[in-house]
Amino acid sequence: MQLLASYLAGKWSPGSGAKQSLVNPTTEEVLAEVHTGGHDLAAAFQHARTAGARELAGMTFAQRGAVLAALAKAIHGAREELIALAVANGGNTRGDAKFDIDGGAVTLSHYAQLGEKLGSAPLLGDGEPIQVGRTARMGGQHVWARRRGVAVHINAFNFPAWGLCEKLACALLAGMPVISKPATATALVAHRLAQLFEPLLPAGALQVLIGPAGALLDTLVPGDVVAFTGGSDTAKMLRNKLPEPVRLNIEADSLNAAVLGPDVDLGSEAGALFLADVARDMTQKTGQKCTAIRRVLVPEARFAEVCDALKERVSAIAVGDPSREDVRMGPVATAQQHKDVKAGIARLAAATDSVYGGTGEITPVGVAAGKGYFIGPVLRSTRDPMNCAPLNEHEVFGPVSTIGLYNGDAAFAADFIARGEGCLVSSAYSDDREWVATFVGAAAPWAGRLYLGSSKMASQSPGPGTVLPSLLHGGPGRAGGGEELGGERGLQFYMQRCALEGDASVLKTLIGG
């Protein structure tokens, strides 16, 4: 049995004490074990504060970017091995695994290029120079400076590769050493990444704790930061636990919605895009995607047609052993996840009607009877989406979406987005610019990202569920209030903004001008 070690204070150590198993969610076979404690985390923080901080401080943005490029290359070199681990430990189909792993490599490459562009500037400029004196000689300039501290990264089970890479890319480029903790249940991919990255990184730049957090958050001091992705209950605990001066970024639950505009015919390009996006974003990664579409809003006149079309699409998805080429959707990742999704479906079922999939019972393809954490795609519907509490107040983290009807009013659609109390992303599909403007104006305060589907962009759309490194990822309210990525913006969490005043020519040189 493989025993997973953590990489802390410059060495690999297995920890000690009780063990937790990592399981194949298709077969329920134990794949590996990890000790639940026994690590000297104080030594890990000390290593980050000394070796890690020193090494990164001595590097320019361009040099740190070059390290990120090497990490992306390492992922490409081990891609097939990483995919196999994701299939076994995450219940991922090959496509799901690529989405996670390639997404990690793309994000590292994006920040590698940004590092090259930022070059050797000592500080990052924030906005244009400002004249604050009588003449242009006396200037003002906002800048971002590297924070002195340790970045602790805590990730969710669903994206073991991308989660590690997207947070790491921003922190390292900004110049902060990282201690990263993947979710235990699916840690095989992150563990392998840590092994691949270790020889490519400066000492102390990245340490990886495999297994439960233990005392990870007990020795934080002002200047340290914590970036968390996971459930809202854990997020709430972190908010209460962390000392005030420690910066905290939260990516949590999200009730993302997709709205069909009243002008869109399902046979049009925008209509086809809407159907494809909903079907994919409710079933990709078995619905275990923070950006998955949970709520669908369609004009009353198209309600029956949309229900039929989505039913046709999701019923064609083969569910079963994700290592099989003919299977399009695997199991959920853990027994707990299975229980939680079933409970969520039962809550929804009490308030909605079934369109397809009942409450998720399924006989998976190629799986021994009674084995695996399988749930089939579930489509529900409601004629009163605004007042359907289970739909608007609970995230079901599985292949489950509910279709509600409305009168086509853009203001109502925006209120429906707001009813989720803050989401990572929501989408609207319309070619009517006036409708779109009204919708965006009212919905934007409730979403980290709005995806505007239309006929003109349909052929080149990545879909709302794909998080791009160049655009912000995060959302207000229920989604945690966090902001990650967004190109250069992603570095700001790991830096401190400071307003400089002085000789304008000196200020210019400080930002590489």
C-beta of 112 vs 292, nearer to ligand NAP: 292
Q: What angle do CA 129, 134, 140 make, to 5 degrees?
A: 25
Q: Based on the shown chain and the rule CB under 6 A, indicate whether residue 287 belongs to the binding site for ligand NAP.
A: no
Q: Pick the stretch among 135-143, 230-238, 412-420, 487-495 that binds ligand NAP (CB under 6 A).
A: 230-238
Q: Based on the shown chain and the rule CB under 6 A, indicate whether residue 320 belongs to the binding site for ligand NAP.
A: no
C-beta of 211 vs 320, nearer to ligand NAP: 211
Residue (of 388, 385, 439) closest to 409 by Cα position: 439
DSSP state of 10: T
Catalytic sites, residue numbers: 251, 290
Q: Cα–Cα distance between 292 and 392 in angstroms, integer? A: 14
C-beta of 124 vs 217, nearer to ligand NAP: 217
113: Cβ contacts below 8 Å, ≥ 6 apart? 65
CB of 142 to ligand NAP, least distance (A): 28
H helices of 427-502, where? 433-443
Q: Based on the shown chain and the rule CB under 6 A, indicate whether residue 39 belongs to the binding site for ligand NAP.
A: no
Q: Cα–Cα distance between 62 and 59 in angstroms, integer? A: 8
CB of 399 to ligand NAP, least distance (A): 14
Radius of gyration of the chain (CA): 24
Q: Based on the shown chain and the rule CB under 6 A, indicate whether residue 511 belongs to the binding site for ligand NAP.
A: no
Q: Cα–Cα distance between 372 and 368 in angstroms, integer? A: 8
Which positions from 182 to 211 touch ligand NAP by CB under 6 A, shown as an x/- string?
-xxx--------------------------
Q: Based on the shown chain and the rule CB under 6 A, indicate whether residue 401 belongs to the binding site for ligand NAP.
A: no
* Reduced 3-state DSSP string for 258-280: EEECCCCCCCCHHHHHHHHHHHH
Which positions from 344 to 383 touch ligand NAP by CB under 6 A, shown as an x/- string?
----------------------------------------
Q: Based on the shown chain and the rule CB under 6 A, indicate whether residue 154 belongs to the binding site for ligand NAP.
A: yes
Contacting residue, 93, 107, 109, 158, with ligand NAP by CB under 6 A: 158
Contacting residue, 55, 100, 102, 253, with ligand NAP by CB under 6 A: 253
Contacting residue, 234, 268, 323, 455, with ligand NAP by CB under 6 A: 234
Residue (of 413, 270, 396) closest to 339 by Cα position: 396
Report the residue number whose CB is nearest to ligand NAP. 230
Using CA of residue 55, residue 60, residue 66, residue 72, what is the dihedral sign? positive
Q: Based on the shown chain and the rule CB under 6 A, indicate whether residue 251 belongs to the binding site for ligand NAP.
A: yes
394: Cβ contacts below 8 Å, ≥ 6 apart? 344, 347, 348
Decide: 429 and 268 in contact? Cβ < 8 Å: no
Q: What does the binding site for ligand NAP look like in residue numbers (CB under 6 A)?
A: 154-158, 181, 183-185, 212-213, 217, 229-231, 234, 237, 251-254, 290, 395, 397, 424, 479
